[in-house]
Chain A
Amino acid sequence: MSDLTRMLQETVTDAVAEKRPLQLIGGGTRSFYGRTPKGDPLQLAGHTGIINYQPKELVITARAGTLLSEIESVLAEQGQVLAFEPPRFGEGSTIGGVIASGLSGPARPFNGSTRDFVLGARVINGQGEILRFGGEVMKNVAGYDLSRLMCGALGTLGLLLDVSLKVMPRAVVERTQVRSCSEAEALALFRELAGKPLPITAACFTDGQLCLRLSGSRPAVLAAAQRVGGEELDQAAAFWVGVRDLQHPSLASDRPLWRISLPATATPIEGIESTGFIDWGGAQRWLSGRRDVTPLRDQAESLGGHATLFRGGDRDSEVFQPLQPTLLDFHQRLKRALDPVGIFNPGRLYPQL
């Protein structure tokens, strides 16, 4: 447990004065994500500690450098979890990296995303000021919601000092049902089941098998398992950790990995069979290998979604789907409002930010 706030503020203040960009680094396990980092490295992994944890209030507040594994084990002692299942890309994954990347695990369509669980944050802005937004309560509409805005911003809007998150009880029982089917059948079944009041908390398709995770009380999960049919999967917890951390063989290769984010109801995307990995009940589809960017993005867009070069490939290119000009303009203005000289992670999200 150590509080580096003062040192971090001084470093930022100096960097602002010298207009010297900083590259914010937590555990470094997400360094593959986003565009090539630039600027002087500033290590945040030493800024650690759980500041407040109130199980009955369903809230935990931790410094950005706190290990995700530490937070999750402290929560587990009280039978609680981070319900958005943040991926752990390595032992060093920090809660700051979880927020900055905004990535959520298999439970995302059913339990909500990383930002859905953010209640508040303390940040150092691009003027070296320490600001607190949101708080530790569930409902709070005072001021603009700048704490949730930090999610997925890849550190380009400020240096996260600490974050308050809503936590949830761990399900009493979890059970995964599998059944063999084609991709088209899987997508149809996802749609059908999503409209029913069933305790589903994960739904993926891989290797010609559809996997559904059910969570809740024992009798509820048993009844739901009978309704959805199929066989019970052994070692299901390990399987879902693999899905969460992208350890599945078709995702863990060295080839470029594309994340296609689509409405769950979108038709199969051309070429998806080569990877055959669909998560989020159809809303997240993975493609691997070299792809022709423009047609891929056009296709994703025509289906109502986006294509991200998630890992590998040319990290100096536009790894995120380019924004419409007016929208990009607002992004630039917002960036300037929080980081007027542009010292935080320049270019990590978009070249213009």
Chain B
Amino acid sequence: MKKMKSVLCIALLSTILVGNVFAGDTAGSGLLGFFDNVINAVISLVAPADSCETRQCQTCRPREDGGSGNCRPTR
């Protein structure tokens, strides 16, 4: 019985501690870290160079850090 309680106790503490660490780290550098370093894959293409003014047709913007833009050098 005593052994069972010890096991239960260790299990509880482990779960809570691991859970806390996971939660804390996730907000800091866990999953968020992953998302900070991934590429946003939205690329659509525009080729405005010779048929349209820049102001009318250029939608090339860099995305957030590590992200991809819809820019293509065209000139």
| Co-assembled chains A and B | no
Q: Interface residues, chain B, CB within 8 Å of chain A?
A: none
Q: Interface residues, chain A, CB within 8 Å of chain B?
A: none
